[in-house]
Amino acid sequence: MAKHSVGWVASQKRWLLAFLVMLSVSTLIAFFIRAAFDTCDRNLDVVDKRPSTVPYSDFIVGASPNPLKFMKSKLVLLVSHELSLSGGPLLLMELAFLLRSVGAEIYWVTIQKPVDTGEVVYSLEHKMLNRGVQVFSARGQEAVDTALKADLVVLNTAVSGKWLDLVLKEHVVRVLPKVLWWIHEMRGHYFKLDYVKHLPLVSGAMIDSHVTAEYWQNRTRERLRIKMPHTYVVHLGNSKELMDVAEDRVAKRVLREHVRESLGVRSEDIVFAIINSVSRGKGQDLFLRSFYESLQMIQEKKLQVPMMHAVIVGSDMNAQTKFESELRSYVIQKKIQDRVHFVNKTLTVAPYLAAIDVLVQNSQARGECFGRITIEAMAFQLPVLGTAAGGTTEIVVNGTTGLLHPAGKEGVTPLAKNIVKLATHVERRLTMGKRGYEKVKERFLEHHMADRIATVLKEVLRRSKSHTDS
């Protein structure tokens, strides 16, 4: 009888885990806007900053009222520079699914596709097809015809600007008035006139953070001598699906136990993690240096703390990048293999957020344009150790919901000290996590965003129509 009971519990646990992991895939359905910039610039719209008082359930896809219902039967063409597990394409897919949910007719084209379509591209395309998004070639006549008859064309990322001249050619002028350009880039090499020369003539630009919007306005004016179009600042938001897992204690406990068991981490150990694609710009190398330095500090000061681990989610050894090889060599050199764990890149971030204790957002240079993993971690009541750069500064309140450190090599020791602080002060760690969760509930939920993205799309469609009428 006892054996039967144990087997039944184990079976139920496996079933619940499979269900939750499958559920976490649907974190793809989150996105949108938070606010805007200062009204001193006429080209930068201010979206109402007050939190919505409409009940959350009223904004669930399929419920009423839905602020995007005016998009029903609208024809929208989405132009992505690539199709991958990176932030830009996934955000555009979320927009596609959101608009499909209200009855919009959605078409998708991908500019850069590998000769041999990989498993990721195949999987994502079929996910879209299954949701009613029609996918076709970016360079065929079908793309031109769709762009000409569309109510709205969304260009995703600065690089997508090349598609206008390459494919539309003489039809570019007719399409520009109905283009919404969604920009996620913060790096200087995207400021090429070949990419963005048509930017002043589109109906609007949508950018993920105030810092990035200001950067684009200054750089386009000073370096390229062009003017930004009407610009909206777009903060992202957490899906209801992710929030359901984050707020379910049983689900979190099951996921936490399973992931920690798979990593060889005990329940009492402290886990710091970066969840980002592995690249130099995301700062995994500097994080590992900080982590090692924090271990040295704890040893030198003879501090009593549980065993600490570093987890890097976003690995891809199939790509055999020099950078990832350097990371793994560093771990071996410092003899911390038992404390550092590499996890392949995945869409299912919820299990790892449930399993860790602190998120590290260590993006370098100008930082993240926004960094949605930050608000996802805060939903799981995790404190965030982030670089004081980019969109992270618009999310993390230093000393309240997390701790900030400088980007670059000068941030290595401050981050190490912050790791030690949170490792040695349990109450502080828990309090920061709770305050982060409260901020998410106040600003970064799906229903906060849906109403504001609707405002943006209405404005873009209105300007497009007025241009056509004139």
Q: What is the CATH number of the domain that holds 419?
A: 3.40.50.2000
Residue 10 has pLDDT above 60, yes or no: no
- Tokens representing 432? 């920061």
Question: How many domains would you assign to the chain?
Answer: 2
pLDDT value of position 86: 81
Residue 61 within any structural domain of the chain: no
Judgement on whether residues 281 and 292 belong to the same structural domain of the protein: yes
Contacts of 43 (CB under 8 A, 6+ apart): 217, 227, 228, 229, 230, 231
CB 388 within 8 A of CB 414: no
Mean pLDDT of 35-51: 34
CA 157: distance to chain centroid? 14
pLDDT value of position 466: 81
Side-chain half-sphere exposure of 124, counting CA atoms within 13 A: 24
Residue 217 within any structural domain of the chain: yes
Judgement on whether residues 293 and 186 belong to the same structural domain of the protein: no
Query: What are the two backbone dihedrals, phi and then psi, of residue 417, each rounded to the nearest 5 degrees?
Result: -65, -40
Distance CA 263, CA 58 (A): 40
Mean pLDDT of the chain: 85
Residue 269 within any structural domain of the chain: yes
Among 12-16, 160-164, 357-361, the minimum mean pLDDT is found in: 12-16
Judgement on whether residues 246 and 145 belong to the same structural domain of the protein: no
Confidence of residue 467 (pLDDT cuts 50, 70, 90): confident
- List pLDDT tens digits, range 325-360: 999 999 999 999 999 999 998 878 999 999 999 999
Q: How many CB atoms lie within 10 A of CB 447?
A: 20
Residue 278 has pLDDT above 80, yes or no: yes
Q: Dihedral (C-alpha) 414, 415, 417, 418: value to the nearest 10 degrees? A: 120
Confidence of residue 320 (pLDDT cuts 50, 70, 90): confident
Judgement on whether residues 166 and 258 belong to the same structural domain of the protein: no
pLDDT value of position 293: 98
- Tokens representing 371? 């960094």
- List pLDDT tens digits, range 302-316: 999 999 999 999 998
Judgement on whether residues 464 and 432 belong to the same structural domain of the protein: no
32 compared with 184, residue with greater pLDDT: 184
Mean pLDDT of 126-140: 93
Residue 452 within any structural domain of the chain: yes
Residue 19 within any structural domain of the chain: no
- Tokens representing 436? 């982060």
- List pLDDT tens digits, range 231-268: 999 888 888 889 999 999 999 999 999 999 999 999 99
List, as one string, the DSSP characters of 257-278. Answer: HHHHHHHT--TTSEEEEEES--
pLDDT value of position 116: 63
Q: Is the pTM of this model over 0.85?
A: no
pLDDT value of position 85: 80
The domain containing residue 173 runs over which residues?
70-237+448-469
Distance CA 387, CA 404 (A): 5
Nearest residue to 272 (alpha-carbon basis) of 444, 124, 416: 416
Residue 63 DSSP code: S
Confidence of residue 155 (pLDDT cuts 50, 70, 90): very high
Angle between helices 426-443 and 412-424 (to 10 degrees): 100
Q: Dihedral (C-alpha) 370, 375, 376, 378: value to the nearest 10 degrees? A: 150
Judgement on whether residues 422 and 438 belong to the same structural domain of the protein: yes
pLDDT value of position 115: 65
Judgement on whether residues 437 and 304 belong to the same structural domain of the protein: yes
- List pLDDT tens digits, range 56-98: 233 334 444 888 999 999 999 999 999 988 888 988 998 999 8
Residue 55 within any structural domain of the chain: no
Judgement on whether residues 163 and 209 belong to the same structural domain of the protein: yes
Judgement on whether residues 110 and 126 belong to the same structural domain of the protein: yes
Residue 20 within any structural domain of the chain: no
CB 359 within 8 A of CB 392: no
Judgement on whether residues 334 and 192 belong to the same structural domain of the protein: no
Judgement on whether residues 85 and 216 belong to the same structural domain of the protein: yes
Judgement on whether residues 307 and 283 belong to the same structural domain of the protein: yes
Residue 429 has pLDDT above 70, yes or no: yes
Residue 214 has pLDDT above 70, yes or no: yes
Confidence of residue 117 (pLDDT cuts 50, 70, 90): low
Residue 127 within any structural domain of the chain: yes
Residue 274 has pLDDT above 50, yes or no: yes
Mean pLDDT of 93-121: 87
Sheet architecture: strand order including 231-233: 134-135, 105-110, 75-80, 152-156, 179-183, 204-207, 231-233
